[in-house]
Amino acid sequence: MKRYTRYIQYIKPCLWLLVIAILSGVVFGLSSGFGMPVIFDKVLRKIFLEQSDGHTYPMSYVIGIALLLPMVFAVRALAGYLSGYFMTRVSLEVLRRIKQDIFSKLQDYPIAFFDRYTTGDLITRLNNDTNGIQNILISFSSEIFRQPLQVLGAVSFLAYLSITKGEVVFLLVFVAAVPFCILPVQMMRKKLKKYMAISQGELSKVAQLFNENLDAVHEVRVFNMQDSQKERFWNLNCSFQNFCLKIAKYELLQQPIMELLAATMVAVTFVYAYVSGIDFATFSAIGIALYFTVDPIKRIVRMASDLIKTSPLFDRINEILDYKTTVPEPENPVKIGSLRGELGFSGVNFAYNDKIVLRDANINIPAGTSCALVGESGAGKSTFAKLAMRLYDPVDGVVSVDGISLRDIASRDYIANVGSVPQYPVLFNDTVYNNILIAKPDATREEVYNAAKCAYAHEFISSLEYGYDTYVGERGDKISGGQKQRIAIARVFLKNPPIIVLDEATSALDANSEAYIQKALDNLMSDRTVLIIAHRFSTIRNVKKIIVFQHGRIIDFGSHDELMERCEYYKHLYLKQSGKIH
């Protein structure tokens, strides 16, 4: 039950709606389980018996008695409607709050979280899993009070009728049938839970492949991957279908079993009534009571089955909501304003999935130092930069800024002092203006224009169909890679932070644009702490210092001239890229 109790917090804000729904459910259950059999036995049966004895009633009285039936059904229908409607409102409110909670937590989780879960899996959990929970909440919440109360009412009347008529056998028949109602659920519970968990995993794979295929439209066409992609999707689709069929098999078995049980109970009751000489009126009343007992039990069994089937969905949602962040916020954060930008690494180790990728990093980068990170792929450059931005926390050691450990600073406060231009920047499906404005939401239009001019983006933006109000499309696909990169650089100019991380920010530019951007970056690096993840030595010619990485270790730190003299590894990398050695 622990997996479900956490959801009480989502129900509390709409408790009054739940109370109305519960009260309506009580009225529905009692009017169905107790009201209907009583009318048939105590009212309609009595009138027919007295009529057979020659007693007559005025037509107005008969019409009044006749109206009791639609009145009970009207009360039952209204109560059922109100119960269902308000329970639906409660479940939709709970679903909205769950989705909001998931999305909010995703905004706060560190990059390490997204290394663990694929995009397709997260989309499936946010949409498909929560929708599954919504369905069970609507079903469960609308039936949880109505059906048990209907059973209680019907059983109470059945007990009363059995005792007053001296026919306890009817009650014993019902009691004997109860284990057979529960048995199918118990037999199928583990199978349903197992296959539901597997099917959701398969659905996540389908969603991931679909998402990946859309992201790689260019590669799929260029490398003629259409057929292989179709085959992969077919296989995953078939696998998902097979597990859904297994779930359906066990679900669909329950209904006929319950119906067979109900028919058997009526048959046993009929035989006993015939043998015992029980009149048809009494048999009818008992039959109605049995129906209003078995039918809700059948619904309760199906409800239990649905709850079992969806329990893996609750587990998958709880897994996201209960994720323990690897970059925790400090309990008493150090208050900072604008930082100077002195970065320090002391005994820092970091690992991905227990594989050490940065070992014993010890270095101090003075404030205002432009610093290139060089080394072969996998040497630890990107990891070093991500630790400096506190996208990750080290396994061991301390990363500090201005002598303060990053663990002691609130993430939002620190990130307010950091700017970044990734190698492949992402733009939102919004206007160019708004894509730059995210760096400083309170900036004036003039400040945005100046930032674009500094990034040599103003000219191409002005030439677009709607200028700064042009929509860039999904992921910025309506503009070129170089243009996207210049917009990303404009963001940094607008934010104007003391610490900047550049991941080869000019890699997507043509030679002419690169020359202009390099000048802009040179201005940007003035009096700021800048880390440049360098893939090409031509882009770091104006940096003050260079950190050399090899096999996850920092092996040297100095200027270009110093490293050329004393660091053979750096000299080899430089000459190799210069084409002077092979």
Q: What is the distance between the alpha carbons of residues 262 and 291, in angstroms, rounded to a whole number?
A: 8
| Predicted pLDDT at 444 | 93
For residue 308, the domain's CATH number is 1.20.1560.10
pLDDT of 342 above 90: yes
Neighbours of 15 (CB within 10 A): 10
| Residues pairing with 499 in the sheet | 418, 529
| Predicted pLDDT at 393 | 92
CA 316, 320, 321, 322 torsion-angle sign: positive
Give Cβ neighbours of residue 109 (< 8 Å, ≥ 6 apart): 323, 325
**6 and 148 both lie in a single domain:** yes
Domain annotation covers residue 451:
no
Domain annotation covers residue 200:
yes
> Which has the higher per-residue pLDDT, 143 or 399?
399
Q: Tell me 474's DSSP state.
A: G
> Which has the higher per-residue pLDDT, 289 or 213?
213
**408 and 352 both lie in a single domain:** yes
| Predicted pLDDT at 398 | 95
Q: Tell me 225's DSSP state.
A: -
Neighbours of 197 (CB within 10 A): 17
**271 and 340 both lie in a single domain:** no
Q: Cβ-count burial of 349 within 10 angstroms (0-12 exposed, 13-18 middle, 19+ buried)? A: middle
Mean pLDDT along residues 272-300: 69
Q: Which of 67-71, 368-372, 422-426 has the lowest mean pLDDT?
A: 67-71
**25 and 131 both lie in a single domain:** yes
Q: What is the distance between the alpha carbons of residues 516 and 490, in angstroms, rounded to a whole number?
A: 13
Q: What is the distance between the alpha carbons of residues 216 and 220, in angstroms, rounded to a whole number?
A: 6
Give Cβ neighbours of residue 68 (< 8 Å, ≥ 6 apart): 39, 43
| Predicted pLDDT at 566 | 92
- Collapsing DSSP to helix, strand or coil, 53 comes out as coil
**296 and 352 both lie in a single domain:** no
> Which has the higher per-residue pLDDT, 75 or 403?
403
Beta-sheet pairing, 499-503 with 529-533: parallel
For residue 566, the domain's CATH number is 3.40.50.300
| Predicted pLDDT at 545 | 92
Q: What is the distance between the alpha carbons of residues 457 and 450, in angstroms, rounded to a whole number?
A: 10
Residue corresponding to tokens 């940065």: 358
Q: What is the pLDDT of residues 98-130, one digit of tens each?
A: 888 888 888 888 887 887 887 778 888 888 788
Q: How confident is the model at residue 468 (pLDDT cuts 50, 70, 90)?
A: very high
Give Cβ neighbours of residue 108 (< 8 Å, ≥ 6 apart): 325
Q: Which domain holds residue 572?
A: 330-417+499-508+533-582
Q: What is the pLDDT of residues 153-169, one digit of tens each?
A: 667 777 776 777 666 76
pLDDT of 171 above 60: yes
Mean pLDDT along residues 384-394: 92
| Predicted pLDDT at 373 | 94
Mean pLDDT along residues 307-330: 82
| Predicted pLDDT at 199 | 78
**136 and 250 both lie in a single domain:** yes
**274 and 340 both lie in a single domain:** no
Q: What is the distance between the alpha carbons of residues 268 and 170, in angstroms, rounded to a whole number?
A: 9
Mean pLDDT along residues 359-384: 91
Q: Are 16 and 264 in contact (CB under 8 A)?
A: no
* Average pLDDT score, the chain: 79
Sheet bearing 529-533, strands edge to edge: 418-421, 499-503, 529-533, 370-374, 545-550, 553-558
Q: Pick from 321, 343, 370: which residue ends a domain?
A: 321
Number of domains in the chain: 2
pLDDT of 7 above 80: no
Q: Pick from 264, 289, 321: which residue ends a domain?
A: 321
Counting Cα atoms < 13 Å in the Cβ hemisphere of 83 gives: 23
| Predicted pLDDT at 3 | 59
Q: Which of 337-346, 523-532, 533-542 has the lowest mean pLDDT?
A: 533-542
364 phi-psi bin (left φ>0, alpha ψ -120 to 50, beta other) = beta
What share of the chain has pLDDT > 90, as a percent? 22
> Which has the higher per-residue pLDDT, 48 or 136?
136
Q: What is the pLDDT of residues 223-261, one digit of tens each?
A: 677 888 888 888 888 888 888 788 777 766 766 776 677
Domain annotation covers residue 267:
yes
What share of the chain has pLDDT > 70, as a percent? 74
Q: Pick from 321, 347, 372: which residue ends a domain?
A: 321
Q: Which of 102-111, 176-185, 305-314, 337-346 has the highest mean pLDDT?
A: 337-346
Q: How confident is the model at residue 34 (pLDDT cuts 50, 70, 90)?
A: low
CA 78, 81, 84, 86 torsion-angle sign: negative
**92 and 66 both lie in a single domain:** yes
Neighbours of 234 (CB within 10 A): 10
pLDDT of 365 above 90: yes
Counting Cα atoms < 13 Å in the Cβ hemisphere of 474 gives: 2
> Which has the higher per-residue pLDDT, 332 or 265?
332
Mean pLDDT along residues 44-70: 65
pLDDT of 433 above 90: yes
Q: What is the pLDDT of residues 472-527, one digit of tens each?
A: 987 777 888 788 888 988 999 999 899 999 887 665 556 666 676 677 777 777 78
Count of residues in the chain:
582
Domain annotation covers residue 523:
no
Neighbours of 288 (CB within 10 A): 19
Q: Write down the pTM of the prediction.
A: 0.70
Q: How confident is the model at residue 358 (pLDDT cuts 50, 70, 90)?
A: very high
Domain annotation covers residue 359:
yes
**368 and 313 both lie in a single domain:** no
**142 and 165 both lie in a single domain:** yes
| Predicted pLDDT at 547 | 94
Domain annotation covers residue 471:
no
Q: What is the distance between the alpha carbons of residues 178 and 298, in angstroms, rounded to a whole number?
A: 11
Domain annotation covers residue 473:
no
CA 233, 238, 239, 243 torsion-angle sign: positive
**228 and 305 both lie in a single domain:** yes
**125 and 274 both lie in a single domain:** yes
Q: Report the C-alpha dihedral over residues 127, 132, 134, 138, rounded to 10 degrees.
A: 160
Domain annotation covers residue 409:
yes
Q: What is the distance in angstroms between the CA of the first residue and the CA of the last residue of the chain?
A: 65
